[in-house]
């Protein structure tokens, strides 16, 4: 089960992802992350401290947010990757697309 929480913290929009972001959870997570696509003038932090797994469907959601935010001149940072999730980012080359905190 996936849980997505979005809140403003210290002037940044923080999306906290908890659980397993697989193909089954991707549509619901994508919908929950949609408000980030309209953010202007704030950085976005995707907190993956409690994200246990990410599939290619999940990576697409991250990429979608990145493209929308960069189009508006913002930044997307990822924080708290577990070793397993970091390995997926490394294998797919996504580690080169994002900034990490």
Structural domains in the chain, sorted by start: 2-100 (3.30.750.24)
Nearest-CA neighbor of 42 among 68, 82, 75, 65? 75
Tell me, what's the pLDDT at 41?
Answer: 86
Tell me, what's the pLDDT at 18?
Answer: 98
C-beta of residue 78 within 8 angstroms of C-beta of residue 48:
yes
Tell me, what's the pLDDT at 1?
Answer: 86
Residue 85: pLDDT above 90? yes
C-alpha gyration radius of the chain: 12
pLDDT digits (tens, 9 = 90+) for 30-84: 999 999 999 988 999 999 999 999 999 999 999 999 999 999 989 999 999 999 9
Average pLDDT (4-18) is 97
Length, in residues, of the chain: 101
């Amino acid at each position: 089960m996936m849980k997505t929480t979005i809140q403003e913290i210290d002037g940044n929009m923080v999306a906290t992802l908890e659980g397993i972001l697989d193909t089954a959870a991707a549509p619901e997570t994508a919908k929950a992350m949609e408000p980030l696509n309209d953010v202007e003038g704030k950085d976005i932090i995707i907190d993956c401290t409690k994200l246990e797994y990410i599939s290619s469907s999940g990576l697409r959601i991250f990429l979608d947010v990145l493209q929308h935010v960069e189009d508006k001149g913002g930044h997307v940072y990822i924080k708290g990757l577990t070793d397993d999730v970091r390995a997926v980012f490394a294998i797919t080359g996504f580690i080169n697309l994002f900034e990490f905190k």
